[in-house]
């Protein structure tokens, strides 16, 4: 299988190619232990993930879902720092599942 130049990918339709070129995609695995999230709350927590830069856009997959807490958003808040927003829609405090999270970082 050949290599694709990501910045040369064509768009379908009449959408002008005025966006920022993708310069790299990396996949990270990080062992994270989130803290408890209060009832009916969205809370941002930060974790060290060496290699992330503020030029990265991230997609995060948690290791499993064992309770009602979900990921409501993810961003790189500083170099080597992943910020995850956890949402707890329940009436009681819950702790998101700890484990190995997969982070896909798209750099532009």
- Residues of the chain short of pLDDT 70, as ranges, are 1-17
DSSP of 36-56, one letter per residue?
Answer: PB-TTEEEEEEEE-TT--TTE
**pLDDT value, residue 11:** 45
**pLDDT value, residue 44:** 98
Domain of 91 in residue numbering reads as 34-107
**pLDDT value, residue 16:** 61
User: What is the domain count for the chain?
Assistant: 1
Is residue 22 a contact partner of residue 59, using CB atoms and an 8 Å limit?
no
Within-domain flag for 24 = no
Token readout for 66 is: 């064992």
Rg (CA), the chain: 17
**pLDDT value, residue 66:** 81
Within-domain flag for 2 = no
């Amino acid at each position: 299988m050949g290599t694709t130049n990501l910045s040369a990918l064509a768009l379908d339709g009449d959408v002008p190619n005025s966006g920022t070129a993708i310069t790299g995609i990396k996949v990270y695995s990080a062992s994270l232990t989130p803290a408890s999230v209060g009832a009916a709350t969205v809370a941002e927590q930060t974790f060290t993930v060496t290699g992330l830069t503020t030029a990265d856009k991230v997609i995060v997959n948690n290791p499993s879902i064992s309770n009602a807490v979900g990921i409501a958003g993810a961003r790189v808040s500083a170099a080597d720092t992943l910020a995850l927003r956890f949402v707890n829609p329940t009436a009681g405090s819950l702790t998101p599942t700890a484990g190995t999270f997969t982070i896909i970082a798209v750099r532009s």
